Amino acid sequence: MAEMDSPSVGTKKKRSGVQRSKKKSTRVDLTPMVDLGFLLITFFIFTTTMSRPKTLPLKLPKDSPDPTLLGESGALTLIPSGNNRLFYYEGKDPLKMQSATFNSLREVIRTKQIKTDTADFMVIIKPTRECNYKNTIAMLDEMAINQVRRYALVDLSKEESEEVTKMENSK
């Protein structure tokens, strides 16, 4: 049993005259307070919700045996690279690759959206090995901001990799 004793206040000197009554010490039983504390701690532990991990929703296409055919006029390929550099080209020819910044990415996408029918428009994102996670997420955020319905994250081909290396070395 938990308790707290307070010392008695009486004096032990002998005085002449009137004899004082001896004061008894008070005892406070702390057991109910400790029980209440543990009950409150237990209550708050059980009723607290832990923060949920935040994830990016990823929509995957349904499996189908035939590949999706993409028209050359509706394709826009974005290649984020190291040092916050961005390369892009329209259609299927990586030799027409151009350089851009992440600040001008929205303008590049909107320009292509205006020129292309919405049913044919598709963005292909091909990050290089030097590209960091932040830039890849920035690309996916731009897809949501510009309301791009069809986009895909794809591996970089050897030909595109060589063209990116040439463009990085030229500047």
Domain membership of residue 102 (yes or no) is yes
Domain membership of residue 59 (yes or no) is no
Tokens at residue 39, please?
A: 């009950």
The pLDDT of residue 117 is 84
Q: Is 88 helix (H, G, I), strand (E, B) or coil?
A: strand
CA distance 92 to 98: 13
Sign for the CA dihedral angle at 133, 139, 142, 148 comes to negative
CATH number for the domain spanning 155: value is 3.30.420.270
Domain membership of residue 57 (yes or no) is no
The pLDDT of residue 166 is 86
- Give the amino acid at 171: K
Contact (Cβ atoms closer than 8 angstroms) between residue 75 and residue 91: yes
Domain membership of residue 22 (yes or no) is no
Domain membership of residue 42 (yes or no) is no
pTM metric for this prediction = 0.60
pLDDT band at 2 (very low <50, low <70, confident <90, very high): low
The pLDDT of residue 42 is 94
Over range 86-114, report the average pLDDT.
Answer: 87
Query: pLDDT averaged over the chain?
Result: 82
CA distance 32 to 61: 61
The pLDDT of residue 97 is 87
Over range 90-101, report the average pLDDT.
Answer: 85
Tokens at residue 127, please?
A: 């990050």
CA distance 99 to 168: 9
Which of left, alpha, beta for 23 (phi over 0: left; psi -120 to 50: alpha)? beta
The pLDDT of residue 33 is 93
Pairing of strands 86-90, 98-100: antiparallel
Over range 64-90, report the average pLDDT.
Answer: 79
Domain membership of residue 52 (yes or no) is no
Residue 16 scores a pLDDT above 70: no
Residue 138 scores a pLDDT above 90: no
Give the tens place of pLDDT for each residue, 20-61: 777 777 888 889 999 999 999 999 998 888 777 777 776 666
Running DSSP on this structure, what letter comes out for residue 129?
T
How many domains does one find in the chain? 1
- Give the amino acid at 2: A
Q: Domain residues for 113? A: 72-170
Distances (CA, A) of 157 to 7, 95, 164: 86, 13, 11
Whole-number percent of the chain with pLDDT over 70: 80
The pLDDT of residue 68 is 60
